[in-house]
Structure 1
């Protein structure tokens, strides 16, 4: 069904573009005297995936794109007026599947009931959202949500990912890949951030390690990208490395419900609507606590993924009386007493709105410690390759990996790496728990600006001013328009969170 929707969208775009676009030719650059003084800024081009496109809250719309890190950098350079983006107008194009297949969802918005799809567009009218579809040359920001290294080199159009059609506009632009279109623009500076999607799918799809690109393929593809740029252009390149994709809220937001059970290790436990572990110990004496582990399919679980919230409300993972009794016996409680206590606890759960089904949490909603380590090892390997090739091709590196670690440990400019439900005002992440929000992209822009200034500033007499990140604080408070109550998460919101992975899990999107 999803493929049918996307095919409708692609057909609509083809009818919209028609044959009106001329065959693209390399840009004729007309520079003012001021621009001639700084040829470094002559043509800035961005290559990448959703992080470079400005994708957030499971979608793209102009208000998000205007806060993408390449566009923010262009603004700070004073060239945003000629930095062409694939402008997607309201209500935007999202990745959440709707029950009515005649409509395409917009991005998630913050509501009093949590992240939700509040707008949609008829599938056969989606083409009207791309306001500059007939620009007779490639866009300067060519980043495609869902793209990996292979896509940069080889993908011209995708049956299952409409963003390739939206951004690359093939076949009207000559059936050229992302890299080919970038080189057609005769760039002077390329902002390159790619490779996250060569590992992200493993993290958000429950530890499916087959989603990870091999180290050999990663090296071959990245070297091909860099060598091609060097051979076919005189552009300078600034490239970012890959953060640990296990350090995003989609993966770690529920880490607070893990409790230490000594020899049993850390286990996720039954929690309340405030995401706080529930104490089931009837003894109110100081220091007496009884946390009940959730029932899991896998052992050694280190993370429960954000979409588990939907399953939890259905009782998945909530222990039944048999499981509780067995656990109490492990703690040294007499079997007969354990059976009685288990029955009482189950009644209490039901009274509080929980559904103790005793059905274990499936593996696609969790990451084990071993899976987490394998994913981190893959990222380390990719970053080693990036560092080696950066030295070979003389490319300065933006350390996005260290940036995310710092964001999660001590924060940056007052922003945190927490999910929006836990830090509504200061989070740097968007509602999908995977991508940055406006403030997060401003932080990324400043990391790029710092590297650009350090690497090229003195030689070309350029000092790009940093973005004022404070201006983006409270993005979701503004969306709530003064609502001061508690944010609740509805089942619809949770389905939307689950939907974010469709673009980024291989086999689901390709």
Structure 2
């Protein structure tokens, strides 16, 4: 009995000790009072392209605009003397837009776990037997030009200073003050005291990339970009406003270009053998051998260089789940002068990047056979290494100019958007305990179109703007805790949004 009572006494002491420890409160953390430093946020204007607008999931819609990074920033600026921030909100959450009653941009993307990959909202709802909301935003109807957000999806650098751009872009047509107005002059008409100029240069290379570098959408030359950037900075700072600019990310880090594998073709033994036969690619491979034998014998071409290109161009298949697709490659030596059947094609490697829409095209049956197998993929579906290098060279040149402009002007802070997205693509980034990475659908940072950020991604970006503002202008948004919180922003939008 005594032993039992001693045990209970010791156990009670343990409980009392725990209670005493539990009553010890941690030292209260007192955050400093927010200060704006030398910045004046009373009239904040955002100028840029789709990131600035809040574009995501392949569309612009009310909910996405409300979670645009400029709108998120404005909520923090309001605590430091910032005024009202108005946006040209779309009429609905479909993500589409009309011109003259006709749909020129369709529904936003959504995700259904029963379907491999994102699908349009209307297809998703139709598949459920649910009603499909109509697209109601009419680009031809002016809603005025007195806004704070001049993010124009699709705009290249020089578009923002080009008179008449409203006639080419329905998103600007809604808010242009006149048919010959420019985005810059309309933004300056708001008399900004502070501004952000974001992702300028992104679309200057993005259009080339999303078209596979096929020549239909050329990269903006450096001189044109430099002129546009200088005009924008000169205009935006002309009234004494301070602001923040971003550099341009390497867009090939985005899941739009990294999701589709180069080798998704499954083949059984019989099919692989047929494709390797003379009836399919056997004769082509023999023709390549003969053509280069002729060139080595009759031109300065060396056998060593010939062997490299022969190996690159030889097409072989095997019984496997992972055969590489066949693509057109204009960088290869043109052999059609020797044999018109020897077109410049080869099998893809891990160095090639495929645009996201290729996922629904590879393996489909065309008039001449299976696309990507019997029929090589056209240039528009793939970025070969040479095209990727063109994008990198242009991006590097743009970023050199942006850095020089920011470093030479005390009124300009710089956000390294390139570094942010590179880290997102490589290791992911921590945001309030969430790992945001660039995996399509599940990564949390990039939306369903594989290019634009999620709401949570835009919130993280807004915090990076606040960080740069603190460093450049002496504010203390980060230290005072006046920042966006990850839990307040979703990584996907419900298909039932009205």
Q: Look up the match of 2:182.
A: 177
131, 134, 138: which one aligns with 1:121:
134
Q: Look up the match of 1:87.
A: 89
Structure 1 residue 376: deviation in Å?
Answer: 1.0
Task: Tell me how far apart the structure 2 counterparts of residues 235 and 120 of structure 1 sit (CA, whole Å).
Answer: 42
Distance 1:365 1:358, change over 3 A: same
Structure 1 residue 392: deviation in Å?
Answer: 2.2
398, 403, 416: which one aligns with 1:399:
416
Q: Look up the match of 2:24.
A: none
Superposition map of 1:64-75 within 5 A = 64-75=64-75
Q: Look up the match of 2:380.
A: 364
Q: Look up the match of 2:462.
A: 445
Q: Look up the match of 2:403.
A: 387
Task: Tell me how far apart the structure 2 counterparts of residues 90 and 120 of structure 1 sit (CA, whole Å).
Answer: 9
- Which has more radius of gyration? 2
Task: Tell me how far apart the structure 1 counterparts of residues 224 and 483 of structure 2 sit (CA, whole Å).
Answer: 36
Structure 1 residue 153: deviation in Å?
Answer: 0.9
1:1-36 per-position Cα deviation (integer Å, ceiling 9, x unaligned): xxxxxxxxxxxxxxxxxxxxxxxxxxxxxxxxx999
Structure 1 residue 251: deviation in Å?
Answer: 1.1
Q: Alignment RMSD, CA only?
A: 3.6
Are the counterparts in 1 of residues 48 and 197 from structure 2 also a CA contact under 8 Å? yes
Are the counterparts in 2 of residues 42 and 188 from structure 1 also a CA contact under 8 Å? yes
Structure 1 residue 317: deviation in Å?
Answer: 13
Are the counterparts in 1 of residues 53 and 151 from structure 2 also a CA contact under 8 Å? yes
Q: TM-score, normalised by structure 2?
A: 0.67
Name which of structure 1's ranges 137-146 and 308-317 shifts more when overlaid on structure 2.
Answer: 308-317
Q: Look up the match of 1:456.
A: 473
Distance 1:305 1:430, change over 3 A: same
Q: Look up the match of 1:329.
A: none
Q: Look up the match of 1:416.
A: 437
Flag structure 2 segments of 5+ consecutive residues without an equivalent: 1-33, 123-131, 272-318, 330-345
Task: Tell me how far apart the structure 2 counterparts of residues 387 and 104 of structure 1 sit (CA, whole Å).
Answer: 35
Distance 1:411 1:279, change over 3 A: farther
Q: Look up the match of 1:375.
A: 391
Q: Look up the match of 2:50.
A: 50
Query: Does 1:433 pair with 2:464?
Result: no
SS in 2 for 1:179: helix
Q: Look up the match of 1:40.
A: 40
Task: Tell me how far apart the structure 2 counterparts of residues 96 and 461 of structure 1 sit (CA, whole Å).
Answer: 41
Structure 1 residue 155: deviation in Å?
Answer: 3.7
Structure 1 residue 86: deviation in Å?
Answer: 0.4
Distance 1:71 1:435, change over 3 A: same
Are the counterparts in 2 of residues 58 and 94 from structure 1 also a CA contact under 8 Å? no
Structure 1 residue 464: deviation in Å?
Answer: 6.6
Are the counterparts in 1 of residues 250 and 392 from structure 2 also a CA contact under 8 Å? yes
Structure 1 residue 223: deviation in Å?
Answer: 1.1
SS in 2 for 1:59: coil
Q: Look up the match of 2:243.
A: 237
Query: How many residues end up aligned between the 2 structures?
Result: 376
Structure 1 residue 427: deviation in Å?
Answer: 2.5
SS in 2 for 1:142: strand
SS in 2 for 1:158: helix
Task: Tell me how far apart the structure 2 counterparts of residues 459 and 430 of structure 1 sit (CA, whole Å).
Answer: 30
189, 192, 197: which one aligns with 2:194:
189
Are the counterparts in 1 of residues 110 and 495 from structure 2 also a CA contact under 8 Å? yes
Query: Does 1:270 pair with 2:265?
Result: yes
Q: Look up the match of 2:235.
A: 228
Task: Tell me how far apart the structure 2 counterparts of residues 191 and 223 of structure 1 sit (CA, whole Å).
Answer: 15
Structure 1 residue 134: deviation in Å?
Answer: 4.8
Structure 1 residue 243: deviation in Å?
Answer: 0.3
324, 341, 356: which one aligns with 1:293:
324
Distance 1:370 1:461, change over 3 A: closer
Q: Look up the match of 2:210.
A: 204
1:336-392 per-position Cα deviation (integer Å, ceiling 9, x unaligned): xxxxxxxxxxxxxxxxxx888611111110010111111111101110111111122
Structure 1 residue 110: deviation in Å?
Answer: 2.6
333, 352, 361: which one aligns with 1:311:
361
1:135-166 per-position Cα deviation (integer Å, ceiling 9, x unaligned): 5x521001111111111112444334211112
Task: Tell me how far apart the structure 2 counterparts of residues 366 and 397 of structure 1 sit (CA, whole Å).
Answer: 32
Q: Look up the match of 2:287.
A: none
Are the counterparts in 1 of residues 166 and 172 from structure 2 also a CA contact under 8 Å? yes
Task: Tell me how far apart the structure 2 counterparts of residues 409 and 36 of structure 1 sit (CA, whole Å).
Answer: 34
Query: Does 1:466 pair with 2:483?
Result: yes
1:84-116 per-position Cα deviation (integer Å, ceiling 9, x unaligned): 10011323442799xx95686332233343321
Q: Look up the match of 2:222.
A: 215
Q: Look up the match of 2:284.
A: none
Q: Look up the match of 1:263.
A: none
Are the counterparts in 2 of residues 188 and 236 from structure 1 also a CA contact under 8 Å? yes
Task: Tell me how far apart the structure 1 counterparts of residues 157 and 147 of structure 2 sit (CA, whole Å).
Answer: 19
Are the counterparts in 1 of residues 62 and 91 from structure 2 also a CA contact under 8 Å? yes
Task: Tell me how far apart the structure 1 counterparts of residues 392 and 47 of structure 2 sit (CA, whole Å).
Answer: 24
1:237-258 per-position Cα deviation (integer Å, ceiling 9, x unaligned): 200000011111111111xx34
